[in-house]
Amino acid sequence: MSGVWRLFGVWPMPQQITQSTDRYLLSPQSFSFSYSKDSAAQSGCSVLDSAFKRYYSLIFPDAADGARKTEFSINTLVAAGAAALKAQSVWGALRGRVYSLIYSLHCIYYFVNKTEIQDFPRFEFRGLLLDTSRHYLPLNAILKTLDAMAYSKFNVFHWHIVDDPSFPYQSYSYPDLSSKGAFHPMTHIYTQSDVKRVISHARMRGIRVIPEFDTPGHTQSWGKGQPNLLTPCYKGDVPSGTFGPVNPILDSTYQFMSGLFKEMKSVFPDSYVHLGGDEVNFACWKSNPNVRAFMTKMGFGHDYTKLESYYIENIVNISSALNKTPIVWQDVFDYRERIPKDTVLEIWKGVPADYRTELAKITHAGYRVLLSAPWYINHISYGQDWRNSYTVQPQNFSGTDQQKALVIGGEVCMWGEYVDATNLHPRLWPRACAAAERLWSNEEMTSNVDQAFPRLEKFRCSLIRRGIQAEPLFVGYCKDEYRGV
């Protein structure tokens, strides 16, 4: 690899890149994208057509005031040349953008060095979780996040759309869920049209949208709009007035879930669905005499993990019947529910020693796995904490090559306890970029965090130029920052 100095702004690092000092001048006036004659994709492919439009203005940020620019006869300086991009799919072509290689001098001339790139992602699943229940995130905050995700080659938006505090998803089958469970029934909701817009905005950027409807725990807000869904907790012999997890003993529960997931199938096209399954508190179930009677009837004894398994098994079956591949949090594996082998487990707990043990266990059992534990970037600390995210080694655990291959990727999680639209973007960017490179790039080529620093610093400046409110890594400045973002 030569000419690393020109790679400053390239993030994540491509698998192979060769650069020479030959450089070409690009002219905003004559530059264009076109489809190769033998390409399966041709003009009319909306994903690429609109990407070309976006990429053009990223390459030539000042081309809007092009009229003045033509006063300089820069066309006369243009080197004859063209660039070719081969990709196996539209999505590959989408991510095969090269605009980070292009640099400008004096904001008038645009150059690119002669470069050859062979690239592919190390992991197929490079996700980012937003939590829209603990705080509502306005639609624009989500769309902007999708923009920034695409710049870092994230390809999955994990939408933790509902949880205990609020239920902002406006269901057409069960409208009371949001009208009674959202922070505000009119302003703090995602309408069907909002959801469509998110899915379409994501798709145009090569990002799949996986919604999470987490049950049986984390469902307090569901209870407001869906009577008899949650388990009534008891104090002694009488209901206490509070409610616990979803009530797993009623047929009506599964009828409701079936209806809701049928709606989800029609709304969210992705083949994955996240079913949650984390942090179920058994105290309320234990307090309820009807639940206890059910336990006896089913032969579960006093083992409430069996009741949870029973519930999750039913929900997994509902989603499988709808041809959705379930993702669940690691808790579901830890309780050893009988779940289909195509289920993906997501690891969220513990320090490296813990999640490495879990990686080994889950892959040993033959399940595919996603790693999130080291990427809970809602946790902040003073200074450059992106370095911790960067040095994560997702396949560094005891296991065979087959086991390692079951690690399909990971997710950056931005839980919402302390985050809303006021601080989302600067907390996400460029901190999330560290995981983005870890999930995309060759581990050896990106093993040195100090070498990554100036490249990430430059990349952060290009995020700023593209309107993403990415916070600084350290003392310094970006050329375009002085106006504020």
- Candidates 65, 94, 98; CA nearest to 82 is 98
Catalytic residue status for 263: no
Q: Is 141 in the site for its own copies (CB under 8 A)?
A: yes
User: Which amino acid, residue 298?
Assistant: M
Give the dihedral sign, CA 452/457/458/463.
Answer: positive
Q: Is 467 in the site for its own copies (CB under 8 A)?
A: no
Q: Is 351 in the site for its own copies (CB under 8 A)?
A: no
Q: Is 136 in the site for its own copies (CB under 8 A)?
A: yes
From residue 298, how far is each of 301, 307, 405 by CA, in Å?
Answer: 8, 9, 38
Q: Is 420 in the site for its own copies (CB under 8 A)?
A: yes
Nearer to its own copies, 202 or 377 (CB): 377
Q: Which two tokens stand for residue 289?
A: 């005499």
Binding part of the chain for its own copies, among 40-48, 306-314, 439-447, 467-475 by CB under 8 A, reads 467-475
Nearer to its own copies, 436 or 464 (CB): 464
Q: Is 482 in the site for its own copies (CB under 8 A)?
A: yes
Residues forming beta bridges with residue 211, ordered by sequence position: 159
Q: Is 464 in the site for its own copies (CB under 8 A)?
A: yes
The least distance separating its own copies from the CB of residue 134, rounded to whole angstroms, comes to 5
Binding part of the chain for its own copies, among 38-46, 196-204, 211-219, 415-423 by CB under 8 A, reads 415-423
Q: Is 476 in the site for its own copies (CB under 8 A)?
A: yes
Contacts 24+ apart (CB under 8 A), 362-365: 362/330, 362/333, 362/406, 363/397, 363/399, 363/402, 363/403, 363/404, 363/406, 363/407, 364/399, 364/403, 365/333
CA 345 to CA 370: how far, in whole Å? Answer: 6
Q: Is 469 in the site for its own copies (CB under 8 A)?
A: yes
Asked whether 427 and 419 are in contact (CB, 8 A), the reply is yes
Asked whether 289 and 234 are in contact (CB, 8 A), the reply is yes
Q: Is 426 in the site for its own copies (CB under 8 A)?
A: yes
Q: Is 279 in the site for its own copies (CB under 8 A)?
A: no
Residue count, binding to its own copies (CB under 8 A): 45
The least distance separating its own copies from the CB of residue 248, rounded to whole angstroms, comes to 26
User: What residues have CB less than 8 Å from 28, skipping those under 6 apart?
Assistant: 60, 63, 66, 69, 110
Q: Is 479 in the site for its own copies (CB under 8 A)?
A: yes
Nearer to its own copies, 363 or 378 (CB): 378
As a whole number of Å, the CA-based R_g of the chain is 25
Binding part of the chain for its own copies, among 80-88, 199-207, 236-244, 472-480 by CB under 8 A, reads 472-480
- Candidates 2, 53, 1; CA nearest to 31 is 53
From residue 253, how far is each of 25, 194, 223 by CA, in Å?
Answer: 64, 27, 11
Q: Is 418 in the site for its own copies (CB under 8 A)?
A: yes
Q: Is 100 in the site for its own copies (CB under 8 A)?
A: no
- Which one of 279, 337, 443, 471 is the catalytic residue? 279
CA 123 to CA 20: how far, in whole Å? Answer: 29
The least distance separating its own copies from the CB of residue 51, rounded to whole angstroms, comes to 26
Asked whether 431 and 460 are in contact (CB, 8 A), the reply is no
Q: How many residues does the chain have?
A: 485
CA 137 to CA 414: how far, in whole Å? Answer: 12
The least distance separating its own copies from the CB of residue 280, rounded to whole angstroms, comes to 20
Nearer to its own copies, 306 or 427 (CB): 427
- Candidates 163, 98, 154, 113; CA nearest to 135 is 163
User: What residues have CB less than 8 Å from 37, skipping those under 6 apart?
Assistant: none
Q: Is 417 in the site for its own copies (CB under 8 A)?
A: yes
Q: Is 172 in the site for its own copies (CB under 8 A)?
A: no
Draw the binding track, 295-334, toward its own copies (x: CB under 8 A; -: no contact).
----------------------------------------
Q: Is 183 in the site for its own copies (CB under 8 A)?
A: yes
CA 341 to CA 339: how far, in whole Å? Answer: 6
Q: Is 278 in the site for its own copies (CB under 8 A)?
A: no
Q: Which of 423, 454, 457, 466 binds its own copies (CB under 8 A)?
A: 423
Nearer to its own copies, 187 or 451 (CB): 187
Q: Is 193 in the site for its own copies (CB under 8 A)?
A: no
Q: Which two tokens stand for residue 6?
A: 């020109």
Q: Is 421 in the site for its own copies (CB under 8 A)?
A: yes
Q: Which of 148, 419, 428, 436 binds its own copies (CB under 8 A)?
A: 419
Q: Which of 27, 100, 166, 215 binds its own copies (CB under 8 A)?
A: 166
Q: Is 416 in the site for its own copies (CB under 8 A)?
A: yes
Residues that bind its own copies (CB under 8 A): 134-136, 138, 140-141, 165-166, 183-184, 187-188, 378-383, 416-423, 425-427, 464, 469-477, 479, 481-485
Which positions are annotated as active-site residues?
A: 279
